[in-house]
Amino acid sequence: MSESESNATAGTVAPTQRADLASIGAAERLSTRIAFFIAGLAMAAWAPLVPYAKARTGVDEGMLGWLLLALGAGSLVTMPLTGAIAGRYGCRRVILLASAVVCATLPLLAHFSTLPAMALTLFVFGAAIGTIDVAINIQAVIVEKASGRALMSGFHGFFSVGGIAGAGLVSVLLWAQATPLVAAMSVAVVLALLMLFGSRGLLRYGDDGHGGSMFVLPHGIVILLGVLCFIVFLAEGAMLDWSALLLVSGRGVQPSVAGMGYALFALAMTVGRFNGDRIVQRFGPRPVLALGGACAAAGFLLAALLPWTSTTLLGFALVGLGCSNIVPILFSAAGNQKAMSAGAAVSAISTLGYAGILVGPAGIGWIAKVSSLPLAFAALGVALVVVAASARIAVRKG
């Protein structure tokens, strides 16, 4: 790497850390991939435990919805703060501590039976998950910059694989007659071992090493990046919560197989992410973002407007393929912009994106109630057209 390239790579990093950036290599890339896998595994491991938590606490669906908001609230509290914390103490400390909290709280979520205890534990679990999510993306931004090539899509691909592994592992253990507590403790042990194995390459610094205020409002181009993240995460949340219902109520698919719509979406997204780095490296982030947004928009409109199961499933696959590399590109853009420090920018767009996941189900439900579910999906298609049209402004040419 030339001197000019090294200076561009270092960006705003403190002089004492330029040597550290120059030493980033295979170990740091491996640890970043493991950290993303852990984040996906930990989050998805909770999903199969939800019905058991509902049964233990004796709550109805309405109260369960309020209970689950505690997880999102915990994440939204810590996400805006994590950039500054990682800047002061380093990604390594933040990721290891938050992972330890996840390992401690996951078994408790499979044990507590009272509403207050579950709500508090979910809040702490969500806070740890949100912290990990921001810290690993800060690490990913630094590692990608130092490597001088696109890596972000692959990192996020490991998150997707971790999600499949987490849900699959807990489901298999429960199917084998393990208790929820045993299943959760088993996952906690796996998480701890993976984290110990992957800790060597976690960065002992984060962003520019200067810390900064504990909360920074997004400004400049970061506002646009956050809005685009909000739209894409909203779309992904809609696929998780509403794709099966569209197949059942609008296409006459049996409920027992309606999950294939989300499965196709998730598979297409995973495939897209593991090929995304090569595509971004060849064509640049701007055209990939524009075409990805257009592909996802076409998928939603196809699923919404044509009344056949086959076209709906094709639409879901196009949504997954189109969305697969948008968020990684936006996180890379957050790391490269100059309006804010990279850590603060990653925290900001993570928070806005996660807000999209939280408000998405309610928003889609409201549109479906006053009109129809297909119209709600069509509205998401229009929103993703905005994402595609914003590529020229959001991402610098590269």
Query: CATH assignment of 221-394?
Result: 1.20.1250.20
Nearest CA-CA partner of 94 in 201, 193, 18, 206: 206
Average pLDDT on 368-393 reads 91
Is 356 buried (19+), middle (13-18) or exposed (0-12) by CB count in 10 A? Answer: buried
Task: Measure the CA–CA gap between 210 and 20, rounded to whole angstroms.
Answer: 15
Average pLDDT on 159-185 reads 88
Percent of the chain with pLDDT over 70: 89
**Predicted local confidence at residue 160, as pLDDT:** 86
Least confident of 255-264, 271-280, 329-338: 255-264
66-116 residue pLDDT tens: 887 888 888 888 988 888 888 888 999 999 999 999 999 999 999 998 999
Task: Measure the CA–CA gap between 201 and 32, rounded to whole angstroms.
Answer: 8
- Report yes or no: 312 and 251 within 8 Å, Cβ to Cβ: yes
Tell me the pTM: 0.79
- In three-state secondary structure terms, 77 is helix
**Predicted local confidence at residue 21, as pLDDT:** 59
Least confident of 21-30, 60-69, 101-110, 300-309: 60-69
**Predicted local confidence at residue 321, as pLDDT:** 95
Average pLDDT on 250-258 reads 78
**Predicted local confidence at residue 147, as pLDDT:** 85
Q: Which of the four pLDDT bands, split at 50, 70 and 90, describes residue 122?
A: very high
Q: Tell me the CA distances in angstroms from 262 to 271, 289, 319, one per residue in order.
A: 14, 22, 10
- Report yes or no: 162 and 266 within 8 Å, Cβ to Cβ: no
Least confident of 62-66, 158-162, 293-297: 62-66
Q: Which of the four pLDDT bands, split at 50, 70 and 90, describes residue 264?
A: confident
Please indicate whether the domains covering 12-201 and 221-394 agree at the CATH topology level: yes
187-244 residue pLDDT tens: 999 999 999 998 888 988 876 444 444 556 778 899 999 999 999 999 988 887 788 7
Average pLDDT on 372-381 reads 91
What is the overall mean pLDDT for the chain? 85
Task: Measure the CA–CA gap between 281 and 210, rounded to whole angstroms.
Answer: 31
Q: What residues does each domain of the chain span?
A: 12-201, 221-394
Q: How many residues does the chain have?
A: 398
Considering only the top CATH level, what class is 12-201?
mainly alpha
Least confident of 26-30, 147-151, 186-190: 147-151
Nearest CA-CA partner of 342 in 140, 74, 96: 140
